[in-house]
């Protein structure tokens, strides 16, 4: 069960992923007061060849992350661990959060949860802003690992437009997924993750030549009414702590990201969809 680790190590996938750090201050503070339970053998094996201190982002999604094993406590910030005026507190009882639930990944701030109490380590998901009620994503970590590996290996920007895959290209990915997953499992995974089959079989998109393109800078001027969700999204995108983000929001023009191509524009649209006021500048 090391499909994803092999995919990440491939040279041809190097430009598809981005490794991000996390707040060392938050990690240090949480490490002093909270200890995670012993991880399942399946999860330890999964992490053995993955980056330990870095979170991995699938670059084209702008907001799908796999958390490094050394950052699993920090990943629980805002879910199980929160900080008030007196310091860090564990709200697992209040939120009915089980100690055997470990957040290993997230999409758009929505947690992907591994249940380490079972040998096969089933994977659950939930949505931020709703009543806490995790739902089964797939019944084993091995299937989740395989699904992500195929997604990373097969993704091609030429067949990906505004969050949708060209229909024929999607069918090729689905064929690979069906080697180890059922149609229903694929439907649930794609329904949660940003994987959509386009209704149009559009022509491949030519890669932009970075040397001739202007660089886009995405600034957040106002988080809007959904401030908590925007802050969580900023945390995943930037790797900053919640306190660092709150302090940064006091200054007008919080730089979210900078780069070339459509991914940066899609990221801006994502924050706009959360109700934030976003500004894009080209330089």
Average confidence (pLDDT) over 122-135: 84
Q: Does residue 32 sit in the same domain as residue 164?
A: yes
The model's pTM: 0.75
Is residue 220 exposed (0-12), middle (13-18) or buried (19+ Cβ within 10 Å)? buried
Average confidence (pLDDT) over 16-36: 84
Return mean pLDDT, the chain: 86
Residue positions counted in the chain: 283
Of 185, 205, 225, which closes a domain? Answer: 205
Nearest-angstrom CA–CA distance, 277 and 269: 10
Q: Give the domain extent around 20.
A: 1-205
To 10 degrees, the CA torsion angle through 90, 93, 98, 101? -30
76 C-beta neighbours (distance < 10 Å), count: 22
Of 186, 205, 224, which closes a domain? Answer: 205
* Residue 190 C-beta-side C-alpha neighbours within 13 Å: 22
Q: Does residue 177 sit in the same domain as residue 214?
A: no
What percentage of the chain reaches a pLDDT higher than 70? 93
Question: What pLDDT score does 192 carry?
Answer: 94
Band (233; pLDDT cuts 50, 70, 90):
confident
Residue 191 has pLDDT above 90, yes or no: yes
Secondary structure of 216-232 in HEC code, one letter for each residue? EEEEEEECCCCHHHHHH
| Tokens at 62, concatenated | 């702008």
| Tokens at 167, concatenated | 């229909």
């Amino acid at each position: 069960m090391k499909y994803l680790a092999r995919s990440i190590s491939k040279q041809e996938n190097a430009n598809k992923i981005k490794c991000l750090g996390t707040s060392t201050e938050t990690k240090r503070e949480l490490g002093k007061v909270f200890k995670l339970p012993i991880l399942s053998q399946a999860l330890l094996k999964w992490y053995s060849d993955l980056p330990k201190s870095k979170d991995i982002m699938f670059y084209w999604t702008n907001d799908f992350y796999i958390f490094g094993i050394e950052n699993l406590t920090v990943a629980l910030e805002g879910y199980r661990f929160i900080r008030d005026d007196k310091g860090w507190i564990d709200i697992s009882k209040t939120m009915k959060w089980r100690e055997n639930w470990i957040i290993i990944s997230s999409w758009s701030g929505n947690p992907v949860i591994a249940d380490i109490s079972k040998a096969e380590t089933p994977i659950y998901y939930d949505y931020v802003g709703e009543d806490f009620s995790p739902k089964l994503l797939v019944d084993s970590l091995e299937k989740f690992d395989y699904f992500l590996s195929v997604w990373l290996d097969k993704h091609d920007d030429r067949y990906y437009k505004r969050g949708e895959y060209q229909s024929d290209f999607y069918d090729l990915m689905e064929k690979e997924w069906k080697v180890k997953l059922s149609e229903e499992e694929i439907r649930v995974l794609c329904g949660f993750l940003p994987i959509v089959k386009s209704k149009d079989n559009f022509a491949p998109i030519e890669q932009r030549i970075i040397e001739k393109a202007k660089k886009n800078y995405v600034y957040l001027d106002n988080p809007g009414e959904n401030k908590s969700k925007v802050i969580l999204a900023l945390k995943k995108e930037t790797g900053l702590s919640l306190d660092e983000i709150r302090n940064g929001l006091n200054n007008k023009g919080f730089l979210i990201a900078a780069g070339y191509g459509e991914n940066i524009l899609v990221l801006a649209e994502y924050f706009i969809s959360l109700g934030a006021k976003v500004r894009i500048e080209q330089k």
